[in-house]
Structure 1
Amino acid sequence: MEQQLIDEARPTRYATRQPILAADETVIGYKLLFRTDVVSHFSATDTTESVRTTIDMSTLLGLDILCDNRLAFIPCNREILLGHGIAFLPPEKVAAEIQSDVTMDDAILQACCELKNAGYKIALDGFMNNDPRQPVVHLADYIKVDLQQTRLEEIPLIIGSDRWEHTGLLATGVETRQDFEFARRAGFHFFQGYFFRKPESLRTRGARTNKVVYLRLLQAVSQPELDWMSVEELIKSDPTLYYRLLRFLNSAVVAFRGEVSTVRQALTLMGEDEIRRWCRLAGMFEMSQGRPSELLLSGMVRARFAELLGARVAHGESDLFLLGLLSLMDAILEIPMCAIIGGLSLNDDSTKLLLEHEGSLRPIWELILAVESGAWQAVVHNCRLLGIHEDFAAGCYSSAIAWAQAITDSI
């Protein structure tokens, strides 16, 4: 049944989203982009179809699922603005990103005023010194400056004015911790990029006591033979973990009849495979507290995406679901990956992938990263290496996003 649902997820829907964070690294929204056909994208010269697809897919899949109940930043070119292309999306959940090549005239100014009056937020993408979009600056809720496309000496000229007192200054192209620290010192309020997914090599630390419990639980459920008594004792040793298990089992996501009130009862009902999966998810959920929520959600999407790919991709004895979860654990705990996997029963292929990003599983890893970042040419390349069609990969990824959102709501 699950395979049938994946196969029926056509036309191809590639959802790409990049997190936007505040200075404390909490996620405030996502930049969204979609493609319906990865291959044809390479010859396309007009972005209108891409933007329309973004809007269509946002309507179809739901912004709450795609953006984890946060703000959606959707790029808008001239045609979309004049055609009221985002009118079907809820204004309180959307920031219309006016692209840098949009020519300012009375029609565009009127369209932006109408969006603002309707409750949409306005963002000016790729803002530069002496930007030609000055006529709509007073409407902007966000001014986006690309650190990779702007000379350093120009940044103070762009953001140094007191006219931004009521406008969010948003740095894009923030890919490293150094980028983030520079932008924060420069005066930016928000930051777009994946910088927080990479742990700092010079700032590693031991896990706090409660996180040690979750690491021990992860180790316990990764053993070839499950020690039920050890798992039960670990769950019972942490009240939050115990509560999450009972809440999950009594939620609408799980089709058990009758109320579940004890760990032993939960373990009996769930069975070995499900208890292994739940412990991995719940442990990751707790260990991610205090870190950007995007880390948790991305780890779960990766895990489910990899698991679904495994239906058609050779992966030996490797547990692709576990690999997806572990792939961001170093960023969540801010400790080296070698310390995380030290006590886990992983095979050589899995260990080599997590430590070196090499080995027989590398094409799967590269496909996951390519889909996440919208590197469409790499998506096609790695799908061909794996012997799968792009449609199948897209269906798996869409299913993984919806699944991860439903699970995080229930745990």
Structure 2
Amino acid sequence: MDLLLARQPILDAERKVYGYELLHRSSRLDGFDNSDGDRASLEVLSNTLLSFGIRKVLGKHRGFINFTRELLVNDTALLLDPDVFVIEILETVQPDVEVIAACRRLRKKNYLLALDDFLGREAFHPLAAAADFLKVDFRLTSHHERLKIVRRYNRPTLRLLAEKVETEQEFSLACQEGFTLFQGFFFLRPEILSQREVPAFKGNLLRILAEIHAEEFDFGRLEDLIKREPSLVLRLLRYVNSAAFGWNSKIGSIRQAMALLGEDEMRRWLTLATLPALASDRPEELVRTAMLRARACELLAIEAGLAGRSLDLFLTGMFSLLETIIGRPLKDLLDELFLPGDVRQALLEPPPAGGRIGSVFRLVENYEKGEWERVTDLAKELGLTAENIAQRYLEATSWAEEIFSQIHVTV
């Protein structure tokens, strides 16, 4: 694979996914010259999406793709489906005659246009008048400047998007200012609750999570806890009786299902099954991100020389957002689980804690943010190739989308 491809979510005011900005660069980890904003790069991106499956990367959502002046005036956007992609014009593109003409051609073909890092400067008004989205950077603008932009450009056909929104306070402020779309990692930030504020419905699910990660796996205690969750029983029996297993006879009991799946598979399946329920009062993208991290870490196990630690890598990725999902300090939550020392270190301590487990996790975390230089350093440390990382991340993205859609059907 010739392309590193990551995605960052764009959420609406209800914290539901509207779309994803696609971050991409050449897979040449050495000597990257930061100039892959040309037609060849976009052709690779288009081919990657088409060959792998656009919906496996974006789900049912739109994809925002950055465009330089060259890409814009050469009509390179025609490589992309206007019903799926949004053309995001970089802040370096000056609104000259050729650029304005290119935007008009795209509008006639029903493409949606977004302006990146819009500051409200008068010279960019012609572009703003043609845009469907204005992206305003919270780090580059003041409250007063954003209000001026909202007052001038707020119209029914335009969506105002606040980007680099990193905290709940900034999200609330952006909502008050009149923005309706939001990009940033505010939804991944934990909001710590007191013990008594943790919703009661999470209690038994937390006990299940603790039981499957106890030092000794007790089928009897686990069966008793699962019985208290009828929806979990139904999903477990559906799963174990699916065509993927091909048993000769139907599996009808929890104990039989657990015996057939074994300890490791039960740990993996129950972690996947309980975390979405624990996060039912949180943004959906939080669960999707945790799943993507878990699967990406797991898939990199063999190439990273950790073939026997795939479950530990899966749990590292999944539990990385446990604090945000549940609303309790991560250390307190991990103290209730029996996890390997390097997994705990990777989750609780700064780099380079956690050894190779920690390095794989941090590689995946930086990949999702598009921190390509850090990805390069970690890839070299682990002996991974760019092609392997890109392929595994796309596979993990597809898997997370599929699992997430199944959750909505079965929960």
Measured against the shorter chain, the TM-score band is 0.7 to 0.9
Deviations 1:330-382 (A, max 9, x none): 11112211222121002332222222235233323321221111111111111
Task: Mark the CA change 1:151 to 1:266 in structure 2 (over 3 Å): closer, same or farther.
Answer: same
Task: Mark the CA change 1:261 to 1:142 in structure 2 (over 3 Å): closer, same or farther.
Answer: farther
**383-392 vs 272-281, which moves further:** 383-392
For residue 180 of structure 1, report the CA deviation from its aligned partner: 1.9
Q: Partners in 1 of 2:99 and 2:145 — Cα distance?
A: 27
Please tell me whether the aligned partners of residues 51 and 76 of structure 1 are also in contact (alpha carbons under 8 angstroms): no
2:12 equivalent in structure 1: 22
For residue 136 of structure 1, report the CA deviation from its aligned partner: 3.9
Match of 1:75 among 66, 73, 82: 66
Q: Partners in 1 of 2:97 and 2:131 — Cα distance?
A: 17
**365-374 vs 129-138, which moves further:** 129-138
1:140 equivalent in structure 2: 131
Are 1:160 and 2:144 counterparts?
no
Q: Partners in 1 of 2:346 and 2:125 — Cα distance?
A: 49
SS at match of 1:16: strand
Please tell me whether the aligned partners of residues 4 and 386 of structure 2 are also in contact (alpha carbons under 8 angstroms): no
Match of 2:405 among 389, 406, 409: 409
Q: Partners in 1 of 2:295 and 2:236 — Cα distance?
A: 20
Q: Partners in 2 of 1:266 and 1:84 — Cα distance?
A: 56
Question: For 1:167-182, what aligned pairs fall within 5 Å after superposition?
Answer: 167-182=158-173
Q: Partners in 2 of 1:380 and 1:31 — Cα distance?
A: 21
For residue 278 of structure 1, report the CA deviation from its aligned partner: 0.6
Match of 2:301 among 310, 328, 332: 310
Match of 1:395 among 391, 396, 409: 391
**251-260 vs 332-341, which moves further:** 251-260
Deviations 1:155-180 (A, max 9, x none): 22222226434321101111223332
Are 1:368 and 2:359 counterparts?
no
Please tell me whether the aligned partners of residues 297 and 405 of structure 1 are also in contact (alpha carbons under 8 angstroms): yes
Please tell me whether the aligned partners of residues 5 and 22 of structure 2 are also in contact (alpha carbons under 8 angstroms): yes
Are 1:319 and 2:312 counterparts?
yes
Identify unmatched segments of 5+ residues in structure 2: none
The TM-score normalised by the length of structure 2 is: 0.87
Q: Partners in 2 of 1:212 and 1:118 — Cα distance?
A: 53
Are 1:275 and 2:266 counterparts?
yes
Match of 2:373 among 373, 377, 392: 377
Q: Partners in 1 of 2:69 and 2:103 — Cα distance?
A: 11
1:352 equivalent in structure 2: 345
Match of 1:210 among 182, 201, 207: 201
**319-328 vs 173-182, which moves further:** 173-182
SS at match of 2:93: coil
For residue 131 of structure 1, report the CA deviation from its aligned partner: 4.7
**32-41 vs 138-147, which moves further:** 32-41
For residue 20 of structure 1, report the CA deviation from its aligned partner: 0.9
Q: Partners in 1 of 2:18 and 2:248 — Cα distance?
A: 38
For residue 12 of structure 1, report the CA deviation from its aligned partner: 4.3
Deviations 1:223-262 (A, max 9, x none): 3442222222222211222233234345566655665554
Q: Partners in 2 of 1:252 and 1:153 — Cα distance?
A: 59
Task: Mark the CA change 1:253 to 1:177 in structure 2 (over 3 Å): closer, same or farther.
Answer: farther
1:284 equivalent in structure 2: 275
For residue 40 of structure 1, report the CA deviation from its aligned partner: 5.2
1:112 equivalent in structure 2: 103
1:3 equivalent in structure 2: none
SS at match of 2:201: helix
Task: Mark the CA change 1:121 to 1:257 in structure 2 (over 3 Å): closer, same or farther.
Answer: farther
Are 1:93 and 2:84 counterparts?
yes
Task: Mark the CA change 1:271 to 1:119 in structure 2 (over 3 Å): closer, same or farther.
Answer: farther
For residue 118 of structure 1, report the CA deviation from its aligned partner: 3.6
Name the % identity. 34
SS at match of 2:48: helix
- In angstroms, what is the RMSD of aligned CA positions? 2.8
Counterpart code for 1:270: L
SS at match of 1:171: strand
Counterpart code for 1:302: R
Counterpart code for 2:333: I
**342-351 vs 244-253, which moves further:** 244-253
Please tell me whether the aligned partners of residues 34 and 57 of structure 1 are also in contact (alpha carbons under 8 angstroms): no
Deviations 1:263-322 (A, max 9, x none): 344334433322221101011121121322221111112112222222243669781111
SS at match of 2:139: coil
1:329 equivalent in structure 2: 322
2:54 equivalent in structure 1: 63
Task: Mark the CA change 1:300 to 1:255 in structure 2 (over 3 Å): closer, same or farther.
Answer: farther
Aligned length: 401
Q: Partners in 2 of 1:259 and 1:282 — Cα distance?
A: 21
